[in-house]
Amino acid sequence: MALITLSRFLIEEERHKQFICADLRFLVEIVSRACKAISIAIGKGNLAGVLGGAGTDNVQGEAQKKLDVISNEILLEANEWGGHLAAMTSEEMEDPHLIPHRYPKGEYLLVFDPLDGSSNIDVNISVGTIFSVLRCPEGVPVDSDNVFLQPGTQQVCAGFAVYGPTTLLVLTFGDGVHCFTLDREFGHFVLTQEHIRIPEDTREFAINMSNARFWEAPVKRYIDELLAGKDGPRGKDFNMRWVASMVADVFRILTRGGVFLYPLDSKMKDKGGKLRLMYEANPMAMIVEQAGGVATTGRQRILDIQPTSLHQRVPVILGSRNEVERVAGYHRD
């Protein structure tokens, strides 16, 4: 059977399912090309002098890595000239990036975390890019943050790349989740998994245990029960994994199931959580739901949250249906 490249997959989605239009197809092609460029920059590492800190802080007060800045630039430059976007916003920039006047404007908005897991970059552990596509609402000035403040249910596409042993691109247009692998010799992404489904049950969990003393009671209860294993109320042993790159943890969950938690804790209560709603939680929640999983803050479905600001943070609990529903149940108790 002929290999299905990303380009062919997108054309067929447009032609047969009328699921996407030419502009959205073009947008995803451009984002995938930017991800290839980021993957190449990351792959060069110290040979190209791209590792280490940039010496600057982002709007969130986090120290930026050189590759945070490089990846952000690659995505901005790739996406501003094509005429498919009205504006972009990034975890690494305080304000949205408007399309320069010399280029035509389109009907879509692009939202991204250019480099997820960047604390791992200098130690050669997988990192990634997360993105989300929204429609630009009519009647709202495009230079206001408000155009972006739409609940995750409004996303028309969400995806992420993982720069790991292989470079992967995971995509959804609201009709299942598909994974493409970068063929480095030919330079294109090839469809390698279609209609990924997350197993409903799991024996694997992902959480940063060093925050245990700051967690709220429902999360403490849940993790205590998992740690008690065979002798506890769950009657079976659980395994733990924490890559500290959400892209890698979520890809593992798409592949073999699991539950991922970055819950609210007392040391970041005023911030609302660690992960960012627009750049991380919403795209990942859409992908996880499209693969049959669940994504919640513990108290609310992530995709239903009405954002109030661009860089808003939320608690995130997602993955295998039965485990995530159990954690949500503990929050209701």
Half-sphere exposure of 323 (CA within 13 A, CB side): 27
> Among 113-121, 140-148, 223-231, 322-330, which window interacts with ligand AHG (CB under 6 A)?
113-121
Is residue 287 involved in binding ligand AHG (CB under 6 A)?
Answer: no
Beta strands, E only, the chain? 53-57, 63-65, 85-90, 97-98, 108-116, 127-135, 157-163, 167-172, 177-183, 188-193, 204-206, 239-240, 259-262, 275-276, 294-296, 313-314, 316-319
Map the footprint of ligand AHG across residues 74-93, applying CB under 6 A. Answer: 91
Question: Out of 246, 286, 310, 317, which residue is the one contacting ligand AHG (CB under 6 A)?
Answer: 246
Is residue 21 involved in binding ligand AHG (CB under 6 A)?
Answer: no
94 or 237: whose CB is closer to ligand AHG?
Answer: 94
116 or 323: whose CB is closer to ligand AHG?
Answer: 116
91 or 289: whose CB is closer to Mn ion?
Answer: 91
CB count, 10 Å around CB of 8?
14
Tokens of 73: 């630039």
Distance CA 132, CA 27 (A): 11
**Maximum pairwise Cα distance, the chain:** 66
Applying CB under 5 A, what is the total number of residues that bind Mn ion?
A: 4
Shortest distance, CB of residue 162 to ligand AHG, whole angstroms? 11
Shortest distance, CB of residue 172 to ligand AHG, whole angstroms? 19
Shortest distance, CB of residue 195 to ligand AHG, whole angstroms? 25
**Could you list the residues that contact Mn ion (CB under 5 A)?**
91, 113, 115-116
